Structure 1
């Protein structure tokens, strides 16, 4: 008997909408990347970033389409694998593609200023604070698995898709705050971000170990599935967070303003946006 309440004998049309949405997202990014290269051939647009975005879309497709998606409906191990793909691996690939920078390069000047104003607004600063990102991406896991919320989402298709959206958006937010190449209005220094990442790693480990031991867990699934899901969360989360740490190191750049203030001979000039 399936561990969850979904009907696994659904029509293939159920997977058509997510497939079309992912295809549209990939097409839109490719179109914007082409426009960016045509607008400024010298600056162009990184093919590596394009590859990163398409990789993120492929990871989402693997999570939301067969065979993983039907398996996730009936087996907690599939759910956890799906969660890792949607909430950790795909967000990192999508964020490293720098979609906001791509938009700023292709939007008309007036629209670009509007987008920049939104990014620097007070609500955006609050949402992009590492504590908020950490609470939404990692703290929500305790609420999901240690309360009846998980079982409720498994019995309600709309809630299940909302859970997917939460995984994806909160994962993108955390990856953006920690290692995103896109501009951020109030991103802390590298050391502070490493501390927040360390807290996320520790929280993942504690939640997965409690889940494996059966402490406070409220998941309607066989014990062996819950324990295997906890192992997927433990080891899969470690790998994803190591990749995020590597991305943080790879995307880190010295503070140019600080360098210029410490170098009296440095000429004062405006630099072109990256």
Structure 2
């Protein structure tokens, strides 16, 4: 009876995610079509990134991979990479806030801008805070009984998955600025925090290699840890590249000017 109840609960959670992600996809595409009539055409690659990001998140929480993740730690880690790292990166590259600002009326856009300038936005988008929410949540999940509870309780599972996605999104927007950012941090500050975050992620993967969560056999823990370690490095490499590219573009005019002064 307990197993049947848990299975039904997870089915409800999957339906909620399907509805939520489908709604986000429709709203985004609808906003693109609506604003294209009055503004410059919205870049197609951003729409593709949004749809791919939602698809990655969906694969992690709905369907075969999500079902296998309850039994196989390796599959769980693949879902973690999709939901907590790849999906947030793709969603950030889709620039949803920029699209929302050009979709809203003038008054509504001003209210949203005021919210983005608020002290709360300053706090949650700070790289240190975003890293603590992201990495702190992962350490809590895998080093406590929360991992077991997540698979036994559909409500806990829902909130854990939502947290992983949102924390990953906040972490990504705190490192690379695609949408408007009113509380900007220096490139050096973001780079240092990013290095520390990558180190924390790598240390956690190595820790899980020999200290699996409760109920996970060692062989699966080792395979899953390698997926977390090497797969995470690939996605982090993209974030590093974008951050360095923005850094280079921001300093290039100054470098050119200094060279011109030297020639003169």
Query: Which runs of structure 2 are paired with 1:134-213 in the superposition (5 Å)?
Result: 134-213=131-210
Q: Quick check: 15-24 or 231-240, which moved more?
A: 15-24
**TM-fit CA distance, 1:8:** 5.6
Q: Is the 8 A contact 2:74 2:224 kept in 1?
A: yes
**TM-fit CA distance, 1:75:** 1.5
Q: Is the 8 A contact 1:56 1:91 kept in 2?
A: yes
The answer as to 2:64 corresponding to 1:51 is no
* Aligned match of 1:269: none
Gaps of 5+ in 1: 264-274
**Deviations for 1:12-62, whole angstroms, at most 9, x for unmatched residues?**
77644322322211111001111221111xx22111111110110111122
Report the TM-score, using the length of structure 2 for normalisation. Answer: 0.88
As a proportion of its length, which structure holds more helix? 2
Q: Structure 1 residues 83 and 143 mapped into 2: Cα distance closer, same or farther (>3 Å)?
A: same
**TM-fit CA distance, 1:250:** 4.2
* Aligned match of 1:239: 234
Runs of 4+ aligned structure 1 residues displaced above 4 Å come to 4-14, 250-253
The answer as to 2:61 corresponding to 1:64 is yes
**Deviations for 1:91-146, whole angstroms, at most 9, x for unmatched residues?**
00001111001011110000000000000001110111111000011122112111
Q: Is the 8 A contact 1:146 1:218 kept in 2?
A: yes
* Aligned match of 1:97: 94
Structure 1 Cα separation of the partners of residues 33 and 251 of structure 2: 30
* Aligned match of 2:70: 73
* Aligned match of 2:84: 87
**TM-fit CA distance, 1:219:** 2.4
Report the TM-score, using the length of structure 1 for normalisation. Answer: 0.84
Number of aligned positions between the proteins? 253
Q: Structure 1 residues 250 and 57 mapped into 2: Cα distance closer, same or farther (>3 Å)?
A: farther
